[in-house]
Amino acid sequence: MKYLKLLYKMKKTVAQIFVLIGLCQLSLFTKAQGDHDLWLKKVTPVSVNVVAAKKGAFVNVAIQELQQNWAGKANATVTLLVKPDVAVKDDGFKLTANSIQANNDMGILYGAYELLRRQQTGQLVNNGEIVNPSYQQRILNHWDNLDGSIERGYAGNSIFWKGDKNTTITDNDKKLWLEYARANASIGVNGSVLNNVNASPQILSADNLQRLKAIADVLRTYGIKSYLSVNFSSPVRLGGLKTSDPLDANVIEWWKTKTKEIYALVPDFGGFLVKANSEGQPGPQDFGRTHADGANMLADIVKPYNGLVMWRAFVYNPNDKDRAKQAYNEFLPLDGKFRDNVIVQVKNGPIDFQPREPFSPLFGAMKQTPLMAEVQVTQEYLGHSEQLVFLSSLWEEFLKADTYQEGKGSTVARTTDGSIYNQKNTAIAGVANVGLDSNWCGHPFAQANWYAFGRLAWNNNLTSEQIANEWLQQTFSSNISDKNNPLAVSEWQRNFLVPAKKIMLESHEAAVNYSMPLGLHHIFAGNHHYGPGPWYAPKNLRVDWTPPYYHQAAANGIGFNRTKSGTDAADQYHPALAATLNDVNTCPEVYLLWFHHVAWDYKMRNGKTLWDELCYKYDSGVKQVREFQKDWDALERYVDKNTFLEVQRKLKRQEKDAQVYKDGCLLYFQQYSKMPIPYELERPVYDLKYLLSMDMLDVNK
């Protein structure tokens, strides 16, 4: 543990140092029982001999992890070797059942976690198997505020910031940060943006930078780099300058001085994330400059420190006829104009983390600029931490979507991971769902989304089924009656693993069905985005923040016309794909109402009218959740009591929420369709008048 003391650089008494070491050892090796352990449940290890020719901070952690969690052959010898291999990239490694070889120490640690994961899940190790990461930078974006609140956070307050207590750093803080870092390292995450993209300029104050240093010193233990979101107007609001123009010499000098201050405290600081000229945030366009001007100014300043600038492409104007088009319109003309240490961060879809969206047309279209996909781990639009929705299915669909930009097979994954375009930097980001709740994420199954993001960031070819298998086995296999008895293991897999995995893999489609099927999108209740609100349209609210802007329901049909006869957003995609999307007869029906305004009596490919198909989709979503309830109840004897009851309670609420979605949307849209709900479907439970007056966030608790 000597390296921990060196990293902290704390002036402590001998007694205080031993207390700190004890807390760190508790976090590393003797995890408390319960959901707080995540997928890193404590195991009873068997004896293993770990041999490493070269010791270092990360190698030492790898040795300890192997010794504390070994589940392979007893008294085996495992060799750790840092030795270059041309087939091994970045933090990747070469694996056998008894050896890990990597180009650097961090690769050894990732290899240790992979070897342990294979043991716990029964996956075979092929001798000489190369395991490389898909992306160099695998980053969690925390939308945490300095006062401790979290924007779109559903699992308690921030683990990093505490308002007026930000200058006080406790051993409990460090213990929690260390546990967080270990969890991230175990799934390959290697970076954390510690604060909200809607950044306060005060994040760069001297006191808060001291807290940044304390956090970074702990996260570094597991190879996690720290990043900050910054407010573009910081030179004015924090520095007292008259302008934040990125081409102004005084502004440039201010950022140079502030950046030098940061790197003096945190030498391995990762860089800046910037949300600019979006949703009221300041940016270079305020001064007649481009996004490239703003990003390049910061990029030049962090380049001597090997820092990155991640510049978000989430922009839209209240006056634009189609919000979905603006990011493409603003950023495509700038392709090739960004510095090589700028990476443009693009949300998976062109609107905003909807239950289902087509991929953003920027993917593949920007061929000379590295793009990093941004997905949302926190469930802002998918039931917060109340509903069980396994997001890996959504992300897998997105990553495997074909852009056609370099021919068939030019998937989003391949256009962002360096497989197609020569990118100096590759990265992917996930908006974190972590908070101070005892189980980190607010819902036991929301932990699976944190896990899934890390695993897909490391290997974007994994399937959701593989990831669900891994997570379930690591999280719940401690409940197998006798792990050494093949019959007991087989019984657990048959009676728990298979039905639990079924719930997870069907949960995303179920949520789409009971909320926004067939390409409907952004028809949520206002502000909190929980529950239906297709009717929500306050007169004082900008129109692109209201659901009618998106569903456009009327007597002649429903849907947003993004074809050539509408906003022409479909033509932002490659011509081969645009032709498919523009034609109502070939457009995938899951995106039908995203790209087309369709008559209520339009015949779907299964022969039903559009109206009837909507009714059946909403009804099927409700029925799917009811099946989840029954399936979960049958798993009681395989799950600890607290977790079982918590998931049972949340599924009960989810079923009620699904019913509200179904009744609210169908009864509202029926006012326009004037068509009956098919007689064979269950009648609405709620009246529309009641639903118009209620708030689902409160009613169904």
> What is the spatial distance between Cα 185 and Cα 80, in angstroms, rounded to a whole number?
18
- Find out whether 327 and 555 touch, Cβ atoms under 8 Å: no
Q: Which residue has the tokens 């140092």?
A: 17
Question: What amino acid positions are annotated as catalytic residues?
Answer: 279, 352, 380
Q: How many CB atoms lie within 10 A of CB 57?
A: 19
Any alpha helices (H) in 30-170, and if so which ranges?
A: 57-69, 105-121
Phi-psi region of 13 (alpha: psi -120 to 50; beta: other; left: phi over 0): beta
HEC profile of 572-589: HCCHHHHHHHHCCCCCCH
- Reduced to 3 states, what is the DSSP secondary structure of residue 431? strand
Q: How many CB atoms lie within 10 A of CB 645?
A: 12
Return the sign of the alpha-carbon dihedral for residues 324, 377, 281, 314.
Answer: negative
Q: Fill in the DSSP letter of residue 301.
A: H
- Structure-token pair, residue 130: 């190369």
Q: Is 242 exposed, middle or buried (0-12, 13-18, 19+ CB in 10 A)?
A: exposed
Q: How many CB atoms lie within 10 A of CB 586?
A: 9
- Find out whether 381 and 431 touch, Cβ atoms under 8 Å: no
The secondary element (H helix, E strand) that includes residue 130 is strand 129-131
Q: Which residue has the tokens 């011509």?
A: 575
Query: Which of 485, 487, 486, 467 lies closest to 475 in space, CA to CA?
Result: 467
Q: Fill in the DSSP letter of residue 433.
A: -
The amino acid at 187? I
The amino acid at 453? F
- Reduced to 3 states, what is the DSSP secondary structure of residue 216? helix
Residue 96: C-alpha distances to residues 23, 101, 112 (Å): 33, 9, 11
- Find out whether 111 and 103 touch, Cβ atoms under 8 Å: no
